[in-house]
Amino acid sequence: MNKLIVGNWKMNGSLAGNESLVRTMLDGLAAAPAPAPHADLALCAPAVYLAQLQGLLKASPIAWGAQDVSAHEQGAYTGEVAAGMLKDFACRYAIVGHSERRQYHGETDDTVATKAQRALAAGVTPIVCVGETLTQRETGQTESVVKRQLAAVIHTVGHCITEIVVAYEPVWAIGTGKTATPEMAQEVHAVLRAQLAAASTHAKRVHILYGGSMNGANAASLLAQPDIDGGLIGGASLKAVDFLQIAAAAR
């Protein structure tokens, strides 16, 4: 199974800046003697730029996706974007349950699970984020927190669980420059893998990504861990050289 490297631009970008960034990435891939043969790549952008990404990436090795999706199929939900709408723009992925959505928008485990279900029903792969805060880690709650978050999704999507992507993102390591050691990250990934295995005999099909300040310097050691199947990349995905360096570290 190839590693999966997904860029999350968060609320960044402009039409001109996006085009320059994407074209630089594509040029870098084309020029590389061995363009990350063990990594599948994707970029998740703000919804207003999905049409632009579709145009820039449709004939490329990079997939694209959204940073969120509505828990509703359609209706009077001003400002929401439905999974079917994402499918109209050929989105491969949709991030759900990112810690910033949980923290700033009050998204619950059940809401995240419903969003994952909506994405799957539309043929979009949800990237389900789980992770603990610094306080939760320091009080020994890491395992119980991530298992609770993932359990809600397993309960809701049932036999479709092997069609999701999971991203472990320790909240204390997002955008802080801090990162879990490879051993710390692997320990949590192993817990998640075991939880998936208890739900499905095909748990090995599920990519479990690490999302917590992964960069060119630490990517190789993180990606070498047996249960780390890729990365959900924040700030480094806004720099073509950094993103490609992470992709090249996948072996």
Q: Which residues are catalytic?
A: 98, 169
Number of H helices, E strands in the chain: 10, 8
Q: Token pair 């817990």 is at which residue?
A: 191
The C-alpha atoms of residue 58 and residue 201 are separated, in whole angstroms, by 34
Can you spell out the DSSP letters for 58-115?
A: TTSSEEEEES---SSSSSS-TT---HHHHHHTT--EEEES-HHHHHHH---HHHHHHH
The C-alpha atoms of residue 100 and residue 95 are separated, in whole angstroms, by 11
Mode of pairing for the β-strands spanning 208-210 and 165-168: parallel
Rama region for 187: left / alpha / beta (φ>0; ψ in -120 to 50; rest)? alpha
The encoded tokens of residue 226 equal 């047996």
The C-alpha atoms of residue 212 and residue 84 are separated, in whole angstroms, by 29
95 forms bridges with which residues in the sheet?
127
Mode of pairing for the β-strands spanning 3-8 and 230-233: parallel
